[in-house]
């Protein structure tokens, strides 16, 4: 079985390109990962302190940034070999990313925010998508009446569920969550994680959840410390 994420001989320094333009060498690598895999359908919790390179690693996996050397394969596609436009398209088709701030547009309705998560914009108002939106809101315990409310009027807990719906509307093969619970209280945090895992199970999605809070690892199949795979000299 192919890996959902496969990293080989990865080296990344955020300052390498600017240093190269000045004719200088940059030896301050932030990430140096010889090999790391995530299996399809696995729920992985990756943790490390602030500044350790967690978000940088996620940006590399998403294809937002590129490594200095090595390769990253997502579902057998070597995103390291793709151009910027191809990486953007692959990310939109294959991945769903949940950020700490949820990235909702406050002036749009909940339904319109979720439609934005759908890759095929030409189908954004089709009956099939509308049905999927209604099913998602039911599953996430959001009242359908809120579909017509502006996102800014929702409670924090409701905004969390909309952020999940925005990702799940396209049934991504890979869900990446970057510190999405850091501003939440303990009960809300636990409910958010349980809801996210349940939805990932329903969509057979692989889940990579990143946080600096080690205690959250109890909810996941595998817990990985970033410094156990990152061998920066």
pLDDT tens readout for residues 129-143: 788 888 888 888 888
What is the pTM for the complete model shown?
A: 0.84
Q: What is the CATH number of the domain that holds 193?
A: 3.40.50.300
Residue 186 resides in a domain: yes
Does 230 reside within a domain?
A: no
The verdict on residue 71 lying in a domain is: no
**């996430």: which residue's tokens?**
140
Q: Are 203 and 41 in contact (CB under 8 A)?
A: no
Q: What is the pLDDT, as a whole number, of residue 121?
A: 42
Tell me the average pLDDT across 62-81: 93
Asked if the structure places residue 22 within a domain, the reply is: no
pLDDT band at 80 (very low <50, low <70, confident <90, very high): confident
Q: Could you tell me if residue 3 is inside a domain?
A: no
* Per-residue pLDDT, 206: 96
* pLDDT for the residue 24: 42
pLDDT, averaged across the chain = 85
Does 25 score more than 70 pLDDT?
no
pLDDT in tens, 145-176: 899 999 989 888 788 888 888 888 888 899 99
Whether 77 maps to a domain, the answer reads: no
Q: How many domains does the chain have?
A: 1
Across the chain, which distance is largest between two alpha carbons, in Å? 59
| DSSP 8-state secondary structure symbol assigned to residue 169 | T
In degrees rounded to 5, what are phi and psi of residue 20?
-65, -40
Phi-psi category of 76—alpha, beta or left, where left has phi over 0 and alpha has psi -120 to 50? left
Cα–Cα dist 14/29, whole Å: 8
Reduced DSSP (H G I as helix, E B as strand, rest coil) percent helix, strand, coil of the chain, to 5: 45, 20, 35
What range does the domain containing 120 cover?
A: 41-64+92-225
Task: pLDDT band for 183, please (50, 70, 90 cuts).
Answer: low
The token duo for 14 is 């955020």
């Amino acid at each position: 079985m192919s890996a959902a994420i496969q990293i080989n001989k990865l080296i990344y320094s955020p300052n390498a390109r600017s240093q190269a333009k000045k004719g200088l060498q940059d030896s301050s690598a932030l990430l140096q990962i010889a090999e790391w895999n995530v299996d399809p359908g696995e729920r992985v919790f990756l943790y490390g302190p602030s500044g350790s390179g967690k978000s940088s690693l996620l940006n590399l996996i998403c294809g937002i940034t590129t490594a200095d050397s090595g390769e990253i394969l997502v579902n057998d596609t070597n995103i390291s070999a793709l151009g910027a436009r191809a990486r953007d398209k692959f990310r939109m088709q294959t991945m769903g990313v949940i950020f700490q701030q949820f990235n909702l547009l406050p002036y749009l309705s909940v339904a319109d925010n979720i439609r934005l998560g759908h890759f095929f914009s030409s189908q954004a108002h089709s009956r099939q998508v509308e049905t999927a939106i209604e099913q998602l809101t039911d599953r996430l315990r959001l009242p359908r009446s809120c579909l017509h409310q502006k996102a800014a009027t929702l409670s924090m807990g409701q905004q969390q569920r909309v952020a999940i719906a925005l990702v799940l509307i396209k049934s991504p093969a890979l869900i990446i969550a970057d510190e999405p619970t850091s501003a939440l209280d303990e009960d809300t945090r636990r409910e958010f994680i349980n809801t996210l895992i349940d939805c990932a199970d329903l969509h057979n999605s692989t889940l990579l959840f990143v946080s600096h809070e080690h205690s959250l690892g109890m909810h996941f199949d595998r817990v990985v410390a970033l410094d156990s795979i990152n061998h920066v000299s």
